[in-house]
Amino acid sequence: MIPVTTYQDRAVAVFGLARSGIASARALAAGGAAVTAWDDNPKSRDLAAAAGVALVPSADLDWSRQAALVLSPGVPLTHPEPHPIVASALAAGLPIIGDIDLFAQAEPSLPRHSVAVITGTNGKSTTTALLAHLVKACGGASVACGNIGTPILDLEPLPAGGVYVIEMSSYQIDLTFNLRPQVAILLNTTPDHLDRHGSMANYVAVKRRIFDWQAPGGAAIIGVDDDYGQEAADRLRAAGRKVTPVTVMGRAHEGVSVDDAWLYDADISSEPVLSLAGIESLRGRHNWQNAAAAYAAARALGFAPAAIEAGLRSFPGLAHRLEYVGTVGGVRFINDSKATNADATQHALAAFPKVHWIAGGKAKEGGIDSLKPLFGRIERAYLIGEAQEAFAETLDEAGVDNELCGTMDRAVASAARHAGVGEVVLLSPACASFDQYPNFEVRGDHFRALVAKLGSEASAS
């Protein structure tokens, strides 16, 4: 645990008792604060109580005594309207912060280290895990934290020279003010979470805030293959900041670029410095962007290209992100359950020339219309969940063979029957999971278990 002593002998309210909320309450208490916590969900309150967190209904709080409100990222801050507890804290003039800001306040007490922050609409988790892996592969100490893995305040402090690699959602950025990252990465920006930010302009502004936290010499690494990223890079340059642009649309004369799997670093050479070809865990153009950004960050942290390349090749990948789960009867099965929107699925479809595609769930706005340019890669689609009929209509109009399967069990069974040797069955739903599963992880685990069952049955026959 990382104790937070900033609020020693003062009262602090914590609201939202998922993993990061409980970690915040414990870290504050360890630092001598008088912590009172609450959650609207009784199950979350039970978990917090079992962890020794003092519970006080938010309606009973004396706001005049509180020094701050520590808010879970999942609690509405501004849109569609502030949660009542947010309104109460604002009326009392209190700072409203999150667990990452508490970590920032605790930093002076920790061994000397570096911080790398990663955000973007897609690719955050892969890039975070990859950069932490690269630091370790290059001989350093590192941990992936924040929106991925263990809550940051539950970690034991890294030794001197270690690197905290923090994945940050837009919700977490909204609650952070004191972090000073040596490395800040913006991968990409596409419409998402607009219900929580009110507009695309607000969402974009939040994402760019990570660069405002940095000292002038901090490494600003920006994916420039979308207009929002290019504009962010231009704004920073106009303000006198050095920017490392990242593109996977061909070789560029500056920054880090990828052309046909060859990675170029303009600061080093006009020749490619390494190849991403053959790295199964980094397949596809979107993963080239993740790899290029992680490479740029590792270089900014002082590591050599040869060591970074070895780390890239040893990266195991992340579960539910284009995860290879097995081959049965000559058919490869890929779990991309993390693809909860069409933009993420676009990257998955682009990674394979032909697929048997399992898709559906709770649809996002726009459905799969944006995927039409890639429909030619779909051999057959197997549709599940609430979105199946709407998806079928879109696919029918485009002449794509599809089947209403309803459930994952039926979809996997049918895909296994129709796919031939050398072909790929891809679960990339382009939908949230909440109609049939509590989260995308459970959905992906179910897919993985069904593939394992197919393998067992094939071995026994």
Alpha-carbon distances of 145 from 99, 102, 151, 164, 169, rounded to whole Å? 11, 14, 6, 7, 12
* DSSP H or E segment with residue 228: helix 227-238
The three-state secondary structure class of 172 is helix
The three-state secondary structure class of 37 is strand
Confidence at residue 409, expressed as pLDDT on a 0 to 100 scale = 98
User: What is the Cα–Cα distance from 203 to 287, expressed in whole angstroms?
Assistant: 23
User: What is the Cα–Cα distance from 209 to 177, expressed in whole angstroms?
Assistant: 9
Confidence at residue 196, expressed as pLDDT on a 0 to 100 scale = 78
Give, in degrees to the nearest 5, the angle at Cα 65 between 62 and 70. 85
Helix/strand number for the chain, H first, E second: 15, 21
The three-state secondary structure class of 18 is coil
All residue ranges of the chain with pLDDT < 50 are none
Task: Give the model confidence (pLDDT) of 338-369 as tens digits.
Answer: 999 998 899 899 999 999 999 999 998 899 99
Alpha-carbon distances of 154 from 4, 44, 177, rounded to whole Å? 11, 17, 20
DSSP H helical ranges for 317-439: 342-350, 388-397, 408-418
Task: Give the model confidence (pLDDT) of 220-255 as tens digits.
Answer: 999 999 999 999 999 999 999 999 999 999 999 999
Q: Identify which of 143, 158, 221, 127 has the alpha carbon closest to the alpha carbon of residue 2.
A: 158
User: What is the Cα–Cα distance from 197 to 205, expressed in whole angstroms?
Assistant: 10
Contacts with 379 (C-beta within 8 Å, 6 or more apart), sequence order: 354, 355, 356, 357, 401, 418, 419, 423
Confidence at residue 446, expressed as pLDDT on a 0 to 100 scale = 98
CATH 3.40.1190.20 matches 323-460: no
Confidence at residue 320, expressed as pLDDT on a 0 to 100 scale = 93
Question: Quick one: CATH architecture of 11-97?
Answer: 3-Layer(aba) Sandwich (3.40)
Task: Give the model confidence (pLDDT) of 55-82 as tens digits.
Answer: 999 889 999 999 999 999 989 999 899 9
Confidence at residue 112, expressed as pLDDT on a 0 to 100 scale = 97
Question: In what side-by-side order are the strands of the sheet with 243-247?
Answer: 142-146, 163-167, 114-119, 183-186, 219-223, 243-247, 256-259, 262-265, 274-275
Domain residue limits, the chain: 11-97, 101-313, 323-460
Structure-block tokens of residue 3: 């104790």
Confidence at residue 367, expressed as pLDDT on a 0 to 100 scale = 95
Confidence at residue 384, expressed as pLDDT on a 0 to 100 scale = 98
pTM of the complete model:
0.85
Contacts with 139 (C-beta within 8 Å, 6 or more apart), sequence order: 307
User: What is the Cα–Cα distance from 249 to 244, expressed in whole angstroms?
Assistant: 15
Confidence at residue 197, expressed as pLDDT on a 0 to 100 scale = 80
Confidence at residue 174, expressed as pLDDT on a 0 to 100 scale = 96
**What superfamily would CATH give domain 101-313?**
Mur-like, catalytic domain (3.40.1190.10)
